[in-house]
Amino acid sequence: MKVRHIQIHFEEYAEGEQLPPADLSLINEARQAVNTSYAPYSEFRVGAAVLLENGLVVKGSNQENASYPLGLCAERVALFHASSVYPELKVVAIAITAKAQHFITTTPITPCGACRQVMAETENRQGTPIRIIMRGQQGVAQIVNGIGNLLPLSFKEEKLKKKREKTKT
């Protein structure tokens, strides 16, 4: 038995520290997306902005339902929208932020497991990593380059491929 280690890497920008302009601009788009959130049940409004390789930005926000499990996170709304309208364009980056009704979000809004799995599928499909930019209303921003940093050992399409059994000679 071996104990093996996986390292993850993320950039962290302190409150007030200058973010790369492209990241800041995508976070601002995600902030705008918060305004379209439909979150009467959790009162936690999330916005996501997806940057495509041609510079287009596709926004999404969480959409809840009285039948709670049917709601969808902002990240998946944005990614599925992008992929259904622009299937041929790669996703370069996604920014995520949130506003709550009764408190200020002060830690980065990190995507849920289901959204991480969808990001992994997007990366796998396009063959390039996605920059994931996470920030609350205040506080530090955290950025990863590639979903492997948020979802190591993920389930990928290649695992569905049956290996051909070697023929005995």
* Residues labelled catalytic: 75
Phi, psi angles (nearest 5°) of residue 87: -60, -25
Query: For residue 108, what are its two tokens?
Result: 């980065």
Pick from 71, 129, 146, 148 the residue near ligand THU by CB under 6 A.
71
Distance separating alpha carbons of residues 19 and 13, to the nearest angstrom:
7
Distance separating alpha carbons of residues 114 and 76, to the nearest angstrom:
9
Pick from 30, 46, 82, 118 the residue near ligand THU by CB under 6 A.
46
Least spacing, CB of residue 9 vs ligand THU, in Å: 20
Q: Is 158 exposed, middle or buried (0-12, 13-18, 19+ CB in 10 A)?
A: exposed
Which is closer to ligand THU, CB of 62 or CB of 122? Answer: 62
Using CB under 6 A, which of the segments 6-14, 71-79, 85-93, 146-154 binds ligand THU? 71-79
How many residues at the interface with ligand THU, by CB under 6 A?
14
Residue 137 to residues 92, 121, 146, 155, Cα–Cα distance (Å):
23, 28, 23, 32
Which is closer to ligand THU, CB of 1 or CB of 70? Answer: 70
Say whether residue 139 binds ligand THU (CB under 6 A).
no
What is the Cα 7 distance to its own chain's centre?
Answer: 19
Question: Please, which of residues 73-132 interact with ligand THU by CB under 6 A?
Answer: 73-75, 109, 111-112, 115
45 forms beta bridges with 99
Q: Site mask, ligand THU, residues 15-44, x = CB under 6 A?
A: ------------------------x--x-x
Helix (H, G, I), strand (E, B) or coil at 168: coil
Q: Which residues bind ligand THU (CB under 6 A)?
A: 39, 42, 44, 46, 62, 64, 71, 73-75, 109, 111-112, 115
